[in-house]
Amino acid sequence: MGIMPGEIDFPAHGGETTRSFCVGFVSSTFRANYIPRWNGSQLVSGIISDDGSIASVNGTLSVTSLVSVSDERYKRNIQPLQQSLDKVTHLTGVSYEWKAEECRGRGFEEGRQIGLIAQDGEKVFPELVLTDGKGYKAVAYDRLVSVLIEAVKEQQKEIKEKEIQYETSLKDKDARIEKLEKALEKMERRMVALERPSKTFALK
- Give the pLDDT of residue 18: 45
User: Model confidence over 26-39: pLDDT tens digits?
Assistant: 444 444 444 444 44
Q: Answer whether residue 40 shows pLDDT above 60.
A: no
Mean pLDDT estimate for the chain = 77
Greater confidence, 26 or 174? 174
Q: Average pLDDT in the 132-150 region?
A: 92
Q: Average pLDDT in the 162-183 region?
A: 89
How many other CB atoms are found less than 10 A from the CB of residue 47? 14
Residues 6+ apart with CB under 8 A from 123: 90
pLDDT-based confidence at residue 45 (cuts at 50, 70, 90): low
pLDDT-based confidence at residue 9 (cuts at 50, 70, 90): very low
3-state SS class at 146:
helix
Burial 72-85 (b: 16+ CB within 10 A, else e): eeeeeeeeeeeebb
User: Model confidence over 92-123: pLDDT tens digits?
Assistant: 999 999 998 888 777 788 899 999 999 999 99
Report whether 45 contacts 35 (CB < 8 A).
Answer: yes
Q: If you compute the radius of gyration of the chain from its CA atoms, what whole number of angstroms results?
A: 35
User: Model confidence over 50-80: pLDDT tens digits?
Assistant: 554 555 666 777 778 888 889 999 999 999 9
CB-count exposure of residue 35 (10 Å: 0-12, 13-18, 19+): buried
H or E stretch at 97: strand 94-97
Report whether 58 contacts 105 (CB < 8 A).
Answer: yes
Distance, CA of 66 to CA of 57 (rounded, Å): 15
Distance, CA of 140 to CA of 129 (rounded, Å): 6
Q: Answer whether residue 46 shows pLDDT above 70.
A: no
pLDDT-based confidence at residue 199 (cuts at 50, 70, 90): low
